[in-house]
Every structure is written in C-alpha cells, then in structure tokens.
C-alpha cells in the first residue's frame, strides 16, 4: 500500500509530492517532537551534507526533510527564520569548535548577544546552563583548555542550549571523546531530552550508541537513505543487506537474549559519488547479490531499488524479504 513518510494531518498536495519523493528517493526523513533520529552510515555517505541541509533548512538535493510533520521546503521566510533558531548543533570535536581565547561565559553567552540580551541576564543564563549540563557555575570565568574533553563537550552542549532550541543536531557528539566519558555525555543528552522536551538528530557511525539512544534510524549509503524506520525494528531485524552487514559488526550488549550473530563482510570500498551506476548502487559490495540466482541478480543490475515498506520499515532492496544471506 501507499505509505506516507510524514504524518501530516492534511494536504493531498503534499501527499502527491511524497509520491515524487519516493520516486526520486534520496534523503527523506522526519524529526519528530521529543524523539531521536539516528542517522548512520560510513564516512562519505552524505551524513555531513544532510546535517548541513538540516541546519540551513535547505532543500535536499533529492527528497524531503520534515520537522514535526512540516515539510521544511514549504516554510515561509519568517517560519524558516524561527525554525533556524529552534535548531542548534553540537559538533564532534569540542576542542576545535570552542574558541580557546574566549571564556566559558563568552562561549556559552555568545549566541545570546545577537538577540540583544542584557549582559547581566546573559551571565545569569550562562550559569544556569552550566548547572544544566552538570558543571560548576563558577567555571564561567575559565578557558576551554582548563577542561577535559568530556567537560568541553558539556560546554558545547550548553552553548547549543542557551537559545532554548527545540531540536539539537548532534554530529558524532561522543566519537572524539575517551570511551570512559562517552556514557556520561550520552546520559546527559538523554536527561536533557526528557527535561527540555528536545528532539535529536543524532549523527553517528557507532551503531552501538545509536541503538541505545535512537527511536528511529535512517541508514545512508551513497547519498541516499537505504533503510529507515523504527530503531527497534531495524536493529532486531535489519532488512537491507548493507544494514545487516553494519549491524553484524556491532558488539551485542546482552548475549543472553540475542542469537549469535556472525560478522557479514563487505567487499570493496564506497564507489566515488560521481561514478554513474546502473541498477542498485550497493551491488558491487552486496553480499546478498553475490549469492542470488542470475535472474534475481539481473534485477539488481538493471533496476535501482526504490524505498518500499517491508516488515514495518522502509528499505530499498529488491530482495529485502530474502533470508538466505548468511554471515561470513
């Protein structure tokens, strides 16, 4: 049946556009209120471009990005401006994203200065933000180099939150941190989401973290989303051969309750984005393609798979129902 990407209440026009989205494929997803969408894929898959499109509220090269049920392409200029303030970003490397010459107070307060907030009020809000992220208010007078990586990332989070956004884009927020402090930052992010009713776009290549934090997951390959839907559904039963290979490499947190999963190996590298590809873009690396009978392989070679609904999520593989793919 026809499945809409975004739960809009009305709008047949929009629904017709969705039809186009599915045909052109590309990047279509929704950031839902109070939820976390995990965006995963290898480096070079288009995650950074997608982050930029979300931050700029730019129209994706192909596809649609919706926020709380509203297609961002349909926003008026004033709605767009308002939504821009509502979306803030936390970068991967807090050391690189925080100006070392600025005090913590200046760093966290800076986004407020453009909003004409009086200095006293900025100072008060900065201290409240520090408390919110689990740091001493007295740290406001110090400089970034006086802090550990985990503390610096908390400062980055405080800076993103000071303008009271509704959505945080978390671009690999813990991958530059020591493993020993990652959990603390992840837990903080989860607490903040609850407390402030935030939505997250959580970009990561670490699937173990995404599994822990995401409500929905979008898996990207070569600038397209190849599997998208409920996190639990995808993690417990991935249907795209690429997702299955990625997940097979993730350590299983509780071996007691899950069947043993061996690693599925991918051959080759990502093809260059400019290389023109007939049929399925994943074919050259696809472990399922490699073991299909010739008539099914022929489909992969000649027809690019579109996203379609299989077992409750969207997946772009002609043979997503197949269970013959065995681990290496």
Taking the complex as a whole, the smallest distance from the CB of residue 292 to ligand SF4 amounts, in Å, to 6
Examine residue 319 and tell whether it contacts ligand SF4 (CB under 6 A).
Answer: yes
Angstrom distance (rounded) from CA 13 to CA 17: 6
Return the range that interacts with ligand SF4 (CB under 6 A); candidates 38-46, 57-65, 245-253, 317-325.
Answer: 317-325
63: Cβ–Cβ under 8 A, 6 or more apart, which residues? 21, 24, 25, 26, 27, 28, 225
Return the range that interacts with ligand SF4 (CB under 6 A); candidates 92-100, 129-137, 154-162, 316-324.
Answer: 316-324
What is the pairing mode between strands 224-230 and 216-221?
antiparallel
Return the range that interacts with Mg ion (CB under 5 A); candidates 174-182, 230-238, 304-312, 313-321.
Answer: 230-238
> Which tokens sit at 86?
């509502």
270 binds, among ligand SF4, Mg ion, none (CB under 5 to 8 A by kind): none
98 binds, among Mg ion, ligand SF4, none (CB under 5 to 8 A by kind): none
Comparing CB distances to ligand SF4, the nearer of 139 and 221 is 221
**Cβ proximity of 172 and 96 under 8 Å:** no
Among 28, 36, 88, 231, binds Mg ion (CB under 5 A): 231
**Cβ proximity of 152 and 186 under 8 Å:** no
186: Cβ–Cβ under 8 A, 6 or more apart, which residues? 174, 209, 212, 213
231 binds, among ligand SF4, Mg ion, none (CB under 5 to 8 A by kind): Mg ion
Site for ligand SF4 in 239-298 (CB under 6 A): 241, 280, 282-283, 286, 288-289
Taking the complex as a whole, the smallest distance from the CB of residue 42 to ligand SF4 amounts, in Å, to 15
Angle among Cα 294, 295, 297 to the nearest 5 degrees reads: 60
The residue count of the chain comes to: 328
Binding residues (CB under 5 A) for Mg ion: these are 231
């Amino acid at each position: 049946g026809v499945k809409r990407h975004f739960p809009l209440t009305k709008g047949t026009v929009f629904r017709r556009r969705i039809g186009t989205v599915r045909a052109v494929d590309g990047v279509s997803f929704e950031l839902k209120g109070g939820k976390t969408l995990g965006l995963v894929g290898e480096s070079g898959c288009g995650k950074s471009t997608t982050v930029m499109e979300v931050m700029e509220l730019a129209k994706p090269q192909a596809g649609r990005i919706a926020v709380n049920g509203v297609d961002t392409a349909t926003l008026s200029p004033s709605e767009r401006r308002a939504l821009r303030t509502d979306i803030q970003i936390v970068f991967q490397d807090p050391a690189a994203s925080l100006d070392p010459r600025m005090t913590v107070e200046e760093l966290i307060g800076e986004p407020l200065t453009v909003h004409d907030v009086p200095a006293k009020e900025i100072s008060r809000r900065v201290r409240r933000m520090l408390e919110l992220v689990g740091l001493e208010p007295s740290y406001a007078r110090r400089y970034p180099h006086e802090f550990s990586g985990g503390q610096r990332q908390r400062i980055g989070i405080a800076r993103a939150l000071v303008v009271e956004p509704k959505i945080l884009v978390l671009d690999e927020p813990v991958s530059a941190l020591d493993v020993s402090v990652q959990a603390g930052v992840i837990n903080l992010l989860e607490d903040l989401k609850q407390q402030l009713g935030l939505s997250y776009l959580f970009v990561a290549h670490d699937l173990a973290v995404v599994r822990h934090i995401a409500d929905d997951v979008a898996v990207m390959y070569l600038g397209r989303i190849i599997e998208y839907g409920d996190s639990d559904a995808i993690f417990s039963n991935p249907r795209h051969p690429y997702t299955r290979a990625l997940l097979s490499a993730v350590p299983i947190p509780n071996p007691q309750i899950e069947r043993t999963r061996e690693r599925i190996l991918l051959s080759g590298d990502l093809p260059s984005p400019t290389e023109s590809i007939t049929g399925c873009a994943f074919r050259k690396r696809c472990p399922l393609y490699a073991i299909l009978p010739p008539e099914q392989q022929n489909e992969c070679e000649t027809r690019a798979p579109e996203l379609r609904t299989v077992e409750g999520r969207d997946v772009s593989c002609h043979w997503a129902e197949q269970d013959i793919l065995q681990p290496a």
